[in-house]
């Protein structure tokens, strides 16, 4: 089923002109031309776009700059999901960007989604009346947001492909950090300590720092506090940097003056949190793809199955506790607790 997603995506992108695979002899040349053109589009339109068509062109350019090559995705998913126990995580593992470019990739996908939103708002809903152009926007918005989710989970882990065999201490720590931010609960397989605050020179935000100890390793995270509600969210970070410059980003913690580095690198931009890039993106991305369900039934069914897979963990647990009650219907919308329990259930270290 997941292979059908990618094959459908490839056909749609071919029709829209981003890639031309009609003649396989020209595929590589056309992709190289597109890769060289996306920066030209961004330079020409960033700050100057004013029409839906220009916003859409910008969104496509940022999706290309994110580094997610569809040809690679097709091959990876075809190879990794044939017998996958967890198709969603197999999909996540197939979306690969280098550690050095991961922050930029996540940010580019968020920019693409922002431009899609300028065109379509929240009208990408199943059953909505949309023009053909708006259906294209919904489709691309859904793909960008689904890729946001995959890239974010990859940034929170060392290697998703190994969590069911060797386990992933970083992903376990990330799940613990999400749980702690969500409701203050510390999972039994982690310990957490608050270690102060930090403010970066390129941002006016003050973050709470926490240290999470998981499987004999220590990981640091940033929490974003909402002063109005007094709730906190886990900030999506990539690598470590000093307070003076986000561009000092390094893959590993090298000294006491480095801190987890927020993905957002543009002054004045909102922080990207796991609430945004996991929960909202997955729910809204799925809704956007379901908005074109009449034309792409297999694609729509596949993204429904993503949600079913993620929520099935809690459903099974609840059914075991309520054997005499009627079967519990899997929820349409995923919440933070669903995602946390799903990742923990997949990770051998957290079981």
pTM of the model: 0.84
Task: pLDDT band for 338, please (50, 70, 90 cuts).
Answer: very high
pLDDT at 179 exceeding the cut of 80: yes
What mean pLDDT is predicted for residues 85-101?
78
* DSSP, res 26: G
pLDDT at 198 exceeding the cut of 90: yes
Tens digits of residue pLDDT in 81-91: 556 678 888 88
What mean pLDDT is predicted for residues 132-141?
93
Question: Residues 155, 159, 160, 166: is their CA dihedral positive or negative?
Answer: negative
9 vs 175, residue with greater confidence: 175
What H or E segment, with its residue span, contains residue 179? helix 169-183
What mean pLDDT is predicted for residues 124-144?
92
Q: Say what the pLDDT of residue 4 is.
A: 56
Tens digits of residue pLDDT in 234-251: 999 999 998 888 888 888
What mean pLDDT is predicted for residues 161-187?
94
Do the beta carbons of residue 90 and residue 154 sit within 8 Å? no
pLDDT averaged over the chain?
81
Question: Residues 310, 314, 317, 318: is their CA dihedral positive or negative?
Answer: negative
pLDDT at 31 exceeding the cut of 80: no
Q: Say what the pLDDT of residue 110 is.
A: 94
Do the beta carbons of residue 145 and residue 282 sit within 8 Å? yes
pLDDT at 283 exceeding the cut of 90: yes
Q: Characterize the bridge pairing of strands 217-225 and 206-214.
A: antiparallel
Q: Say what the pLDDT of residue 72 is.
A: 61
């Amino acid at each position: 089923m997941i292979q059908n997603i990618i094959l459908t995506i490839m056909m749609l992108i071919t029709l829209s002109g981003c890639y031309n695979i009609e003649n396989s002899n020209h595929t590589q040349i056309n992709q190289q031309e597109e890769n060289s053109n996306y920066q030209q589009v961004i330079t020409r339109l960033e700050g100057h776009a004013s029409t839906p068509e220009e916003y859409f062109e910008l969104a496509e350019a940022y999706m290309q700059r994110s580094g997610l090559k569809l040809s690679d995705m097709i091959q990876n998913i075809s190879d990794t999901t044939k017998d996958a126990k967890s198709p969603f995580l197999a999909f996540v593992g197939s979306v690969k960007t280098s550690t050095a470019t991961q922050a930029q990739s996540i940010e580019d996908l968020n920019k693409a989604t922002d431009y899609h939103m300028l065109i379509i708002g929240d009208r990408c809903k199943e059953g909505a009346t949309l023009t053909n152009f708006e259906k294209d926007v919904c489709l691309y918005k859904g793909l960008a947001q689904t890729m946001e989710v995959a890239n974010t989970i990859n940034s929170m882990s060392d290697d998703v492909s190994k969590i069911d065999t060797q386990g992933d201490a970083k992903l376990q720590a990330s799940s613990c950090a999400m749980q702690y931010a969500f409701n203050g609960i510390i999972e039994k397989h982690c310990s957490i300590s608050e270690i102060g605050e930090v403010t970066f020179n390129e941002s006016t935000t003050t973050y709470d720092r926490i240290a999470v100890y998981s499987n004999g390793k220590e990981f640091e995270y940033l929490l974003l506090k909402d002063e109005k509600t007094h709730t906190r969210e886990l900030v999506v970070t990539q690598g470590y940097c000093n307070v003076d410059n986000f561009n000092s980003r390094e893959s590993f913690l090298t000294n006491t003056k480095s801190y987890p580095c927020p993905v957002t690198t543009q002054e004045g931009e909102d922080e990207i949190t796991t609430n945004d890039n996991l929960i909202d993106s997955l729910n809204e991305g799925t809704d956007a793809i379901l908005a074109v369900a009449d034309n792409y039934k297999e694609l729509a069914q596949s993204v429904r199955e993503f949600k079913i897979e993620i929520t099935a963990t809690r459903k099974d647990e609840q059914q075991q506790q309520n054997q005499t009650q009627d079967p519990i219907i899997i929820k349409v919308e995923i919440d933070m607790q669903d995602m946390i329990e799903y990742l923990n259930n997949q990770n051998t270290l957290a079981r």
